[in-house]
Structure 1
Amino acid sequence: MLFEVNRKLFSRSERVKGVDFHPTEPWLLAGLYNGTVNIYNHETGAIVKTFEVSEVPVRCCKFIARKNWFVAGSDDFQLRVFNYNTHEKVASFEAHPDYIRCLAVHPTAPIVITGSDDMTLKAWDWDKGWKNIQVYEGHSHFIMNICFNPKDSNTFATACLDRTVKMWSISSSTANFTMDAHEKGVNSVDFYTGSDKPYLVTTGDDKTVKVWDYLSKSCVQTMEGHTNNVSFAVFHPNLPLIISGSEDGTVKIWNSGAYRIENTLSYALERAWCIALRKGSNDVAFGFDEGVVVIKLGRDEPAYSMDASGKLIYTRNQEVLSGNIQTIETSAAEAADGSRLRLSCKEIGHTEIYASSIIHSPNGRFVTVVGDGEYITYTALAWRNKSFGNGMSFAWGPDSNTYAVLESKLKIKVYKNFKERAYGVKGGAGWAVDSLYGGPILGACGAGFIVFWDWDTGELVRRIEVDAKSLYWSGTGQLLAICAEDCFYILRFHREEYDNALTSGETISEEGVEMSFEVVIDVSDIVKTAKWIGDCFIYTTTTNRVAYFVGTSSYSISPFDTPLYLLGYMPAHSRVYLADKDMNIYSYGLSLAMVEYQTAVMRHDMEAAAEILPTLPKDQLNKVARFLEGRGLKELALTISTDPDHKFDLALQLDDLDVAVEIARSVPALEAELKWKSLGDRALTAWRFDLARECFEKGNDLSALMLLLLSTGDREGLAALSSKAVEKGQNNLAFTSLLQLGDANACVDLLIKTQRAPEAALFARTYAPGEIGKAVDAWHFELEAKKRPKIAATVAHPQKNGELFEESALVDVQ
């Protein structure tokens, strides 16, 4: 079985006796022999938290995530509970009169079961103040391991150095049954998580790993390979593997179907003691004498394939299951974007190899499973073996009668009608390739290059220097997406250029025909999975987003919370279908008519676009209008858009002021003010003064209106403007308008009214002498109102002083 083993965390420390993954946080709990408990971030490798639990070894520890706790058992007989967020010690009590060697947390009930060197097990209920609710007796030696049954959480199994494995019920103090499991002490026990086999796996000091049918109490298989006591063995929940670790310092990975060793891992950290599996992931943690290691087995992406009709085939370990997206009810297909859909799937057979990839033939009649260095082609309906052989990679040709197999990095075989063709591919001697890709021409990716050959002749078409991780051909065979680590490229394939080069008799170099490919664009999105729908490239990204690319632009459809993998597009539902790693189905709406319309526009085929336009869903018209605006087709966008705001903006950009006025008049007055102001400014630039005046009036833009009225010399308008400005409290604007009209008396009155009597007096002294008395009286009144009589007395009243004196002097002269 071929799968990658990637090391995520390697940290040296004191001896690690217990490890556990947090179910939601990227945390690993590690109990050390020096009495410390560490919490690591297994993504970064950093120690997040450290707890000084005891002065003696901590032999077991587990997260209780639903309470934000972890629980630890140690050699001072104490069971301790800590809140890992606050560092608070929640509980501490003597659970046994001897070392606490193992513990297990019930998956749903508030119960922790501990096992000890006192040869007993005890159940503790934290909702009852950590009361001991049951004692389990029957073992005659140290109890090494406890495991709850995933199919029935009311039962659990224990491993003991008395050479036995016992099955228990939570409510009973005596074992349901006992199995004599090993010739020496038993160190661990674990349940098979699948529903098809009632199996246990055990390990012992007799250096063996054993698989048991616990219903018949019979040994199914004994696996030998370790050279010292075997500390643990577990069934992997997602992969057909058994993982074991030993005091010989190695971790062995076994095929759980064939019971053979697939891989042996050694990290030079001395004895291996404990293991933890991360739920919902392929991460595995190990504890050793000298540290802790976290690895990732294989990849998270499931092995699946969906043909053009919506038939989905995927594997779960070696089971092959099938479902049809077409059978999803219309109501479900119209569900909210991102909602999980119910798809009925059934098992259609098994495959002898562990699938790393599944590939439908172009017509959907055949399905090829690739994995373990082999390939098997089955009929899609009856799941019968059609052909098989050795192969690292496989690619279907443009029809279902032609395919290619990569037998080794330097050997490619081409088959026609399931018979090997006498000639394979020509040229490229010494080019080591890693994977093959089907399409109108055969593609192969190597380290830093892609190479293409013609299916019929085997001649070299083109070699391109690029470090690619996958290729995707469009259905028309004209467009190619090359996905690299940090971007993807769209290329156009010119078959005629290659054919012309052949017919002209010119010698084709080792780089092939240069003009056969033309780069359209490169896009800085990282593609995870993808499909072509016509000339539309739909893809998911590493940032959990589904998007599509048309012409020279990329458009986002929707983000999502968890990693999803693209299955395909169903035109009948107008939806993109995706799946998570457990093959739960999700969908997002995407109108194929809209994609076709965008494609036609990008090709400048406006006649075809006009024919498609009436078929577009009404709720997509605004999106189409914005697409057209982005392409510079603003006139067409204006005719299509149904969004008043967007139409108004387009009308302004196009100087179509009549349309803009119509839109502004149809909008409620409070919402239209900004539109009228913008329209007024645009009308001024177009020399439409009457329209500008209407806009400024309806938009209450009195400043702009005043400038316009002054420019046109409209005295009546200015008078009306000053009154309106007074009503709205825009006194500076009203004063300016009155001053421009030459109405000095009104200016004085406005200043007095707005409690600016000093300015009124000074203004009157210059421009309206007859109003000085009124202004000074107002000034005196203001000062007295502010209780400032002394200041008021210093302000001279012209009529009572200077002006009256002048009048009396004149009388005397007469």
Structure 2
Amino acid sequence: FIGACGNGEYVVYSSMALRNTKFGPASKFVWGCDSSTYAVFNGSSKITIVKNFKEKCDYTTSNVDEIYGGTLLGIKSSDTLTFYTWETFDLVRQIDVEASNVIWSENNMVVISSKEDSFYILRYDENEFNECENVPENGVESSFEILHTVEDSVTTGVWCGAFFVYTNFTNRLNYFVGGHIITIAHLDRQMYILGYLAKHCKVYLSDKNCQIVGYQLLNCVLDYQSAVLKNDFEAADTHLVSIPMSHRNSIAEFLHAQNFKKQALAVATDLEFKFILALEIEDIELSYDLAKQLDSKDNWMRLSEVVERSGHINILLECLEKMEDLPGQFFYAKMLGSKDMLAKVAKKAYTEKHFNITFISYFISGRLDDCIELFIDNGRFSEAAIFARTYAPSRIVFVTNLWKKYIDKSDAKLAKSIATPDKYPNLFPEYQNDLMVEQFQRIQLESPMKSSNHDLKNDFKEAISKQIFTYDPNIFKEMNVNMI
């Protein structure tokens, strides 16, 4: 049957021949849980329940703003929604909510939309109501269980089994299942859901001009998701083979929302989404392969965070290189004591003018001459001279002369006051000993880097006493010539 209501009256037609089977005065009309039962509201205070086209009973109530059909009869007032039984008009439950719509499913699930920004999905338990002997003033609270609170609006909706298909105020056609919203289509105008035909696998909508449009909602997708919600993956796999590849990624998103990450990874087709899933389950090998395919700094950074925790150093070093993270590369090169890595970091840092990283890489590697050259290249002659005095006394004369030449143009008096060991040996009484220690240190630095601490002077004295080391003054002369 078809019910129509307007202009202060209602008419019930047969669906096949559209014959008038019942009519009367009413401002609102709603169907009950089957086509033989409905209720009408006369606009004042009387609600009439009709069964098998015979008026069964009348009830008078106040403050009625709207009535809703379904498993229970819903009556909305200004700030409450009250449910009654169809047979006896017994109070079932009063809910404090400003409802804008109530939509029932065949298995006692109900959607209550509130204003424009949220809706609630509840389950009605008839047994809880029937077992209550003394119904409280506000009804039986345990008769309704809140399953989901969803931050979205509902303009029109229909249940398809365990799936709630609806349109919202932003003109999207969505369906909600298992705590997850999936968008079917973005509508170009406001449309209203007419219903869902399973044999066509389509949900049909109409606009205000009665133009009807159908959108595909595959049964195999719904069956698969229903099986997943029941944790029946054996049945789900039988439906998966029927799902087109174009729908697989939305299926993967659904699985992810249900926290079935491994299953989602097996179904997903989008590389970016697969990468995120692989990271979440810490499948390092797959994450690494996908990162190479995607090759973006953001993804290399995400991967680096995971492999750092898992201890995959080689992959981590590649991540840092792909990210162009020089401080990170320097940190691990220093930690691993790798001169080759430090040399690579120093070269890259020098090219990109990160001279602080270049300098410390040179210094840790024992490349003292390169440290001095870096100072000179940047016009830092005073720092170069002080560094040479401290770590490379064989370079003092060469570097200090450059420094004096540089400042002679602006302050000749200051330039003349700077002494060097070749002209003022009395000011450098330990100079020859310093040269011997430096030469010994350079030999030590040619060996692999050591993680333990050593006292250079004690090592030097021990090498002299055991005649392991012999000082050769000609070495520094040759090195200075090459530097000049």
TM range (shorter): 0.7 to 0.9
1:490 pairs, out of 116, 121, 124, with 121
Which segments of 5 or more consecutive residues in structure 2 lack a partner in the other structure? 430-484
Secondary structure at 1:749 match in 2: helix
Q: What letter is aligned with 1:414?
A: V
- Given residue 666 of structure 1, which amino acid in structure 2 is its aligned partner? Q
Q: Which residue of 1 aligns with 2:94?
A: 464
**Given that residues 191 and 208 in structure 2 are in contact (C-alpha distance below 8 angstroms), is that contact kept between their aligned partners in structure 1?**
yes
| Aligned residue number for residue 579 of structure 1 | 206
Structure 2 CA distance for partners of 1:516 and 1:734, relative to 1, 3 Å: same
**Structure 2 letter corresponding to 1:415:** K
For residue 795 of structure 1, the aligned residue among 415, 419, 422 is 415
> How far apart in 1 are the matches of 2:72 and 2:283?
51
Q: Is the 2:154–2:168 Cα contact (8 Å) retained in structure 1?
A: yes
Instruction: Tell me if structure 1 keeps the 8 A contact 2:85–2:92.
Output: no
Residue 400 (structure 1) aligned with residue 400 (structure 2): no
- Preserved contact between residue 440 and residue 477 of structure 1 (Cα < 8 Å): no
1:684 corresponds to which residue?
308
Shift of 1:737: 1.4
2:385 aligned partner, one-letter code: A
CA distance in structure 1 between the aligned counterparts of 2:201 and 2:35, rounded to whole angstroms = 27
Aligned equivalents of 1:375 and 1:773: distance in 2? 110
The one-letter amino acid paired with 1:492 is R
Match of 1:375 in 2: 10
1:731 equivalent to 2:339? Answer no
Question: In the alignment, what sits opposite 2:110?
Answer: 480
Distance 1:778 1:589 in 2: 81
The equivalences for 1:479-628 within 5 A come to: 479-486=109-116, 487-501=118-132, 506-508=133-135, 511-555=138-182, 560=187, 562-570=189-197, 576-585=203-212, 593-602=220-229, 604-628=231-255
Q: Which residue pairs with 2:57 in the alignment?
A: 424
- Judge conservation of contact 2:397–2:421 (CA < 8 Å) in 1: no
Identity of aligned residues (%): 33
Is 2:22 the partner of 1:387? yes
Given that 2:404 and 2:416 are in contact with CA atoms closer than 8 Å, whether structure 1 keeps it comes out as no
Judged with a 3 Å threshold, the aligned counterparts in structure 2 of structure 1 residues 723 and 542 are, in CA distance, closer, same or farther, namely: closer
Report whether the alignment pairs 1:707 with 2:303: no
CA distance in 1, matches of 2:131, 2:360: 80
Structure number having the greater strand percentage: 1
Task: Classify 1:644/1:512 alpha carbon distance in 2 versus 1 (closer, same or farther; 3 Å).
Answer: same
Look up the match of 2:365: 741
Compared CA separation, residues 478 and 765, structure 1 to 2 (3 A): same
State the alpha-carbon separation in 2 of the partners of residues 756 and 569 from structure 1: 79
CA distance in 2, matches of 1:601, 1:781: 81
Secondary structure of 2:155 counterpart: strand
SS in 2 for 1:615: coil
Q: CA deviation at 1:574?
A: 5.5
Whether 2:46 is the aligned partner of 1:415: answer no
Quickly say closer, same or farther: Cα 1:636–1:758, change in 2 above 3 A: farther
**Within 2, Cα distance between the matches of 1:460 and 1:611?**
45
C-alpha distance after superposition, 1:426-466 (max 9, x if no partner): xx6645645543323444444544444444x4352613244
Residues 397/737 of structure 1: CA separation in 2 closer, same or farther (3 Å cut):
same
Secondary structure (helix, strand or coil) at the match of 1:380 reads: coil
Distance verdict in 2 for CA 1:750–1:566, change over 3 Å:
same
Deviation string for 1:137-159 (max 9, x for gaps)?
Answer: xxxxxxxxxxxxxxxxxxxxxxx
Query: Quick check: 1:773–1:798 contact (8 Å CA) kept in 2?
Result: no
Q: Which amino acid aligns with 1:410?
A: K
2-structure distance, mates of 1:778, 1:594: 79
Question: Hey, what's the Cα distance between the residues in 2 that align with 1:673 and 1:404?
Answer: 63
The structural deviation recorded for 1:473 is 0.8
Deviation of 1:789 (Å):
2.5
**How far apart in 2 are the matches of 1:584 and 1:661?**
51
Write the distance in 2 (CA, Å) between the matches of 1:472 and 1:758: 83
Q: 1:183-221 deviations in whole A, cap 9, x for unaligned?
A: xxxxxxxxxxxxxxxxxxxxxxxxxxxxxxxxxxxxxxx
CA contact (8 A) 1:406 1:413 kept: no
Shift, 1:747, TM fit: 1.3
1:647 lines up with 2:282 in the alignment: no
SS at match of 2:246: helix
Distance 2:107 2:298 in 1: 51
What is residue 434 of structure 2 aligned with on the other side?
none
Rate the CA distance shift 1:775–1:594 in 2: closer, same or farther, 3 A.
farther
Go from structure 1 to structure 2 and tell me whether the alpha carbon gap of 1:682 and 1:543 turns closer, same or farther (over 3 Å shift).
Answer: closer
1:368 alignment partner, SS class = strand
Q: Is residue 252–residue 265 contact of structure 2 (8 Å, CA) maintained in 1?
A: yes
CA contact (8 A) 2:93 2:143 kept: no
- For the residue of structure 1 that corresponds to 2:341, the secondary structure is helix
CA distance in 2 between counterparts of 1:388 and 1:716 reads 93
- When normalised by structure 2's length, the TM-score is 0.74
Structure 1 length-normalised TM? 0.46
CA distance in 2 between partners of 1:638 and 1:540 (Å): 30
Q: How does 1:690-701 map to 2 (within 5 A)?
A: 690-701=314-325
The aligned residue for residue 438 of structure 2 is: none
User: Take 2:148 and 2:322, find their aligned partners in 1: how far apart are those partners?
Assistant: 48
Q: Once the 2 structures are TM-superposed, how far is the Cα of residue 733 of structure 1 from its aligned partner?
A: 1.7
Shift of 1:397: 3.4
Structure 1 counterpart SS, 2:422: helix
Asked whether the 8 Å contact 2:300–2:322 carries over to 1, the reply is yes
Partner Cα distance (1:781, 1:632) in 2: 71
Structure 1 residues 632 and 780, CA gap change in structure 2 (3 angstroms): farther
Structure 1 residues 578 and 749, CA, compared in 2 at 3 Å: closer, same or farther?
A: same
Corresponding residue of 2:467: none
Equivalent in the alignment of 2:264: 637
Identify which of structures 1 and 2 has the higher relative contact order when contacts are C-alpha pairs closer than 8 Å and 6+ apart: 1
Which digits, 9 at most, give the CA deviation of each residue in 1:112-140, with x for residues without a partner?
Answer: xxxxxxxxxxxxxxxxxxxxxxxxxxxxx
Residues 771-790 of structure 1: pairs in structure 2 closer than 5 A? 771-776=395-400, 778-779=402-403, 789-790=409-410
Question: How many angstroms apart in 2 are the aligned matches of 1:473 and 1:529?
Answer: 12
CA deviation vs aligned residue, 1:65-89 (integer Å, no higher than 9, x gap) = xxxxxxxxxxxxxxxxxxxxxxxxx
SS in 1 for 2:263: helix
The answer on whether the counterparts of 1:725 and 1:734 sit within 8 Å (CA) in structure 2 is yes
Q: Hey, what's the Cα distance between the residues in 1 that align with 2:400 and 2:424?
A: 18
Q: By how many angstroms is 1:550 displaced? A: 2.4
- Which secondary structure state, in structure 2, belongs to the residue aligned with residue 424 of structure 1? strand
| Contact persistence 2:40–2:49 (CA under 8 A) | yes
Root-mean-square deviation (Å): 3.6
Distance in 1 (CA, whole Å) between partners of 2:195 and 2:113 is 18
The residue aligned with 1:665 is 292
